[in-house]
Amino acid sequence: MIRSRNKSPEEQQPADHSSDGQAQAVPAGESPAAAAGGRRLALDVHGRLRTMILSGELPPGSVLLQAEMARKLGVSRTPMREAFRLLQEEGLIDARPDQRARVRAVDPEDLDAVYGARIMLETLAVSMTAKSFTAEDIERMSGALKRMQGLAVDEQPDEWHTAHHEFHSIATQAVGPHLQRMLASLGEHSERYIRLAQLGAPASWGKAYAEHEALLEALRTSDPAEAARVVARHLARTALSVLADIAPEYEPVATRTALGIAGTGQS
C-alpha cells in the first residue's frame, strides 16, 4: 500500500481561496474564471455609471464618491475603482487625488470632435446602406420614426432615445461590425448633447423630424449622395445648436469641415 506523503506548503492551502466571499486583487493562484468575473462586474458598473452620465441623471458637475456610489449600486469598492478609471479615460469624469470625482462639464472641443467624426462615419454608412435597402428595412425604419413622433421627449425620454437609436442603426446597418461598434460608441457619446439640444431648442424638433423623413426617403429611393447630405446636415445642426447655446464663441472646425465634405459629395 502506498502511504500518503507529506504535503508541500502549496498543497496544504485550502482549495477555495475565496471562502470569505470578498473581492480581492488577483492573487497568485486565483482562477481565470474568478478574474474574468471581476472584470465583467467592473464593466457592468462602468456601463451603468456611463448611462447615468450620458442620460443626464448625473448632470455635469455632480460629485461622485466611490463609497457612496458603491452602496447605491450594491457593489464593492474594487469594481467601482475600475469603473471610475474607465470613465476618466473616456473623459466623462475628472478624478481627484482624494478619490473625489466630478462629472465633466460639457466640453465644446469634445462635442465638435464627436460630431465631426460621427458625420464622416455615418455619411459613409448611410451611403453604403442606401445601395442595399429593402422593403423590410423601410418598414422597420418607418416604424421607429412613427414611435419617435408619437412620444413626448420630455415625458418619455428613454423610450424616445431607444426609437431614435433604432432609426439610425437601421440607416447605417450595411457596414461591418468594427465600424458598427465605432458608430455605436459615438452615438452613445452624442446622447448627452442631443438631450441638451432638446432642452435648449425644443421648437427645432419639427425640423429634426423633417430631416429624419428626408433620410428615410433617400434610402427608400436608393440615393446614396442624398442620404449622406441629409444625415450630415442633421447631425451638424444638432452640434451647432448645442454649441450656440453653451459656447457661442467656439469655432467648430471639425463639424463644419465634415459637413463641407459630406455636403459637396467629396470623398
Contact criterion met (CB below 8 Å) for 262 and 226: no
C-alpha cell recorded at residue 241: 445648436
CB atoms within 10 A of CB 258: 25
pLDDT at 267: 39
Strand 100-103 and strand 93-95: pairing?
Answer: antiparallel
DSSP structure class, residue 85: H
According to DSSP, the β-strands at 63-65 and 93-95 are: unpaired
User: Among 3-12, 135-144, 168-177, 239-248, where is mean pLDDT lowest?
Assistant: 3-12
For helices 108-130 and 157-171, angle between their N-to-C axes, nearest 10 degrees: 50
CB atoms inside a 10 Å sphere around CB 187? 19
Three-state DSSP class for residue 222: coil
- CA distance linking residue 38 with residue 252, whole number of Å: 41
Give me the pLDDT at residue 173, please: 97
194 Cβ contact partners less than 8 Å away, ≥ 6 residues apart = 161, 164, 238
Residue-wise pLDDT tens digits, 182-191: 999 898 888 7
- pTM for the whole structure: 0.69
The H-or-E segment that residue 223 falls in is: none
Residue 231 has pLDDT above 60, yes or no: yes
Q: What is the pLDDT of residues 84-113, one digit of tens each?
A: 988 888 778 888 676 688 888 888 999 999
pLDDT in tens, 161-184: 889 999 999 999 999 999 999 999
Q: Which 3 state secondary structure label does DSSP give 216?
A: helix
**146: closest CA among 213, 219, 202, 201?**
213
With 90 as the cut, is the pLDDT of residue 56 above it? no
- Residues 244 and 91: their CA atoms lie apart, in Å, by 22
